[in-house]
Structure 1
Amino acid sequence: MLDYTIRRLLIALPVLLGVTLLNFFIIYMAPGDPVDLYANPDVTEADKLVRREALGLDAPLIVQYVKWLGRLLIGDLGTSFSSFQPVSHMIVERLGATLLLMGAALLIAYLIAIPLGILSAVKQYSWLDYVASTGSFLGVSVPSFFLGLGVIYLFGVTFGILPTGGMNTIGQEGELIDTLKHLILPALTLGTSIAGGMVRYVRASVLEVLNQDYLRTARAKGLPEWKVINKHTLKNALIPIITVAGLDIPMLIGGAVVTETVFQWSGMGQLTIQSILSRDYPALMGINLVAAVSVLLSNLWADLMYAFVDPRIKYN
């Protein structure tokens, strides 16, 4: 297992290199110029050239990429064009908030989706199955920004029972209960699309296992239904579920950008939007690097979990 993990990490290095190269050229070739953000009516073209040279934008793109890669090898993600802070510090400040939001969204999604998917499969073609299937399609179909605005209007404006944005109430920074209240709506919004897709996969996976001969044998031996489901069905249905769980990380990263913007949650998603609007190339490269590493690690985690769930799977 250790040898396999090391090989996968070594294979991921050229993949990560290719991702950073592609991201670098896409970001730097996008319309707009960071120097224009510093411009005012009194700025001359000569002043702009001096500013471009100070930011390192006067060199060819491949030279800029090699310099960025060289700094990355020593742990330097560069300096923000807009705030002039180290990009690594900006990411560290925002990463905790995003991890909290993503973790809460996953928890909500799986606590809803896994039991509901199992019940939907066990009670196939019942009213519960139809309700769960309809709800899962709605969860996947409704855009995050629309759902976010809807829950804000319902729980924040109409009933006034939950805060509509931010991470803390002014004067209550650092209080756990206050943070959890602010977390409920964005986590619910972000977790809904994950739960919608997961219900369908859990239902399909459990249905496939329920039709196997060894489960009929277990029932014929007199095992109670709850033991048949919990002991024999779930473990064998976990392989496809783990695959989908590994794919949820990229969806969470993309969904966090919209959700954090709607709810003014001070995380990586909001930082992404701010960096795009300010054409902050170093910050965008740092954010994309973190996202790429997260996706590669989530895929590795899914592969390792296969062997943990199913002892028949061996990585030699």
Structure 2
Amino acid sequence: MTTYILRRLLLMIPTLLGITLVVFVVMAAAPGGISSQSLVDGLNLEPQAKKAMEDYYNRMYGLDQPAPVQYLRWLNNVSPVGFVFDAQGQMSGFSWVKGVDLGLSFRYGRPVTDLIAERLPITLLLNVISIPIIYVIAIAVGVHAATRRGSRFDVGSGVVLLGLWSVPTMLTGVLLIGFFASDQFWRWFPTGGINRREALDMPFLPHWGALGDVFGVLLLAGLGASVLVWLSLFARARWRALVMGGIGLVLGGLMAQQLQPDHLGLLHISLALVFALSLGGIAASEFAWLRTLTLGLLGCALGVALAAQFSQGVFVRGFLLDRLWHLVLPIICLSYGGFAFLAKLTRSAVLENLLADYARTARAKGVAARDVLWRHVFRNSLLPLITVAATLLPSLLAGSVIVETIFSIDGMGKLAVEAVRTRDRELVLSITLISGLLTLAGYLLADLCYAIADPRVTYD
């Protein structure tokens, strides 16, 4: 295994070189190319200043040299071992410990390392939150649908997942902003960014002005969650659907009242029916996990909303709650397509193994259905999920380009768009290098997970 890992790590080097070479060739062959003249055009400088700026770019980046020389020079800069250049751009020696230098950004005039250090944690935060959400929902829904093939849940979840997977991320982002962040509809969330400027001066955790408000929030949130969880676990399906349908009617009516407070219209009826049917359908579902989680979260949210109406002191969101408030819509955009696709894949993999001979034999021997599902079937169904996991991180990074642009989040995705738009060669190549490194690391991790999930797989 150690030999295999070392061999894969060494193979990453030529792969990364090939990726960066393709990107460099595309940029160099594009109309206008990358030259000092193209960088200073449109700056409205005096001829002397323009000539000085061109000389500066040529000296710093070697833009007056042939394209192969420029690429080799960039490779020398990003390599920890290589030649050293002085302030005039002349070679001054060779060093084994010169370190990695990603260069200076054309547009920002700052080291690329500093820009990436600022933006990369934001994109990683989005993906670290999105990936667990994708896998938890996908595995739960996919396994339950496979074990109840042909049921109402299987058919209904299949239609919903197919619909979610078919909606483009860019359209979803625009619709979410239009309905839930604009003044024309419900302004529940911010239109962009990851925090407000005022949040930097707030305490980290939420803060209430009165101690009674804290107890009120905890009491009502816990009471609401407990009541609806009890309803989900112990009440009959008919009563669950009836109670949750009534709550849905009230919630839909309150949402419509915010838009049309003067009169009762079609909007009130439509929203009330949509919420009533949705919550009633979830409450009547035989999927206890989904039903209990949904009702518990709803009860907690209703308790917090009720406590906010009776609070006496001043409430300060705090940095943490403000950050989470800003991340709700971007996380939805990043997650829904992933778990829709992965849930369908999980259903197919689990269903195929449920019908296999070894599962039928285990059931014939008297093994409990739960043990057959989770100890035998699910483990063999992990292999396609691991395969998708290797491509999930690159796809989420690619999706971050769209989401960060729509929601004005200063992450790696938005930085990549700005770099390509301004032909910032150093920045584009560095982002390509980092993205390729993360992608190859994901593939290596997937290969290692194969051996963990399936003992038959060996790399010795």
Worse overlay, 191-200 or 50-59: 50-59
Question: Residue deviations 1:19-59, cap 9 Å, x none?
Answer: 11111111232234574453344444756743552442111
Supply the AA of the counterpart residue of 2:195: N
Hey, what's the Cα distance between the residues in 2 that align with 1:36 and 1:43?
16
Q: Which residue is equivalent to 2:423? A: 279
Q: Which residue is equivalent to 1:300? A: 444
Worse overlay, 178-187 or 37-46: 37-46
Supply the AA of the counterpart residue of 1:263: F
- State whether structure 2 residue 166 is matched by structure 1 residue 160: no
Hey, what's the Cα distance between the residues in 1 that align with 2:44 and 2:365?
86
1:9-88 equivalences in 2 (<5 Å): 9-32=9-32, 33=34, 35-36=37-38, 38=40, 39-44=42-47, 46=51, 49-50=54-55, 52-54=57-59, 55-74=61-80, 75-88=100-113
1:182-193 equivalences in 2 (<5 Å): 182-193=326-337
Query: How far apart are 1:160 and its partner, in Å?
Result: 2.3
Give unpaired runs (5+ residues) of structure 1: none
- State whether structure 2 residue 148 is matched by structure 1 residue 123: yes
Hey, what's the Cα distance between the residues in 1 that align with 2:44 and 2:415?
29
Counterparts in 2 of 1:307 and 1:155: CA distance versus 1, 3 Å: same
Asked if the contact 1:97–1:266 (Cα under 8 Å) also holds between the matched residues in 2, the reply is yes
Query: How far apart are 1:149 and its partner, in Å?
Result: 1.1
Worse overlay, 90-99 or 161-170: 161-170
Q: Which residue is equivalent to 1:177? A: 321
Q: Which residue is equivalent to 1:104? A: 129
Query: How far apart are 1:227 and its partner, in Å?
Result: 2.4
Hey, what's the Cα distance between the residues in 1 that align with 2:326 and 2:150?
38
Hey, what's the Cα distance between the residues in 1 that align with 2:67 and 2:334?
36
Hey, what's the Cα distance between the residues in 1 that align with 2:439 and 2:392?
9
Question: Residue deviations 1:188-208, cap 9 Å, x none?
Answer: 101112112111211111011
Counterparts in 2 of 1:218 and 1:247: CA distance versus 1, 3 Å: same
Of the three residues 385, 394, 397, the one matched with 1:253 is 397
Hey, what's the Cα distance between the residues in 1 that align with 2:18 and 2:440?
13
Counterparts in 2 of 1:35 and 1:81: CA distance versus 1, 3 Å: farther
Hey, what's the Cα distance between the residues in 2 that align with 1:265 and 1:40?
27
Supply the AA of the counterpart residue of 2:191: T
Worse overlay, 76-85 or 54-63: 54-63
Describe the SS at the equivalent of 2:198: coil
Query: How far apart are 1:10 and its partner, in Å?
Result: 1.1
Supply the AA of the counterpart residue of 2:128: G
The percentage of aligned residue pairs carrying the same residue is 37
Supply the AA of the counterpart residue of 2:349: S
Question: Residue deviations 1:179-227, cap 9 Å, x none?
Answer: 1111121111011121121112111110111011221222223333222
Q: How many residues align?
A: 316
* TM-score after normalising by structure 2: 0.65
Hey, what's the Cα distance between the residues in 2 that align with 1:178 and 1:84?
32
Q: Which residue is equivalent to 2:242? A: none
* TM-score after normalising by structure 1: 0.94
Asked if the contact 1:165–1:182 (Cα under 8 Å) also holds between the matched residues in 2, the reply is yes
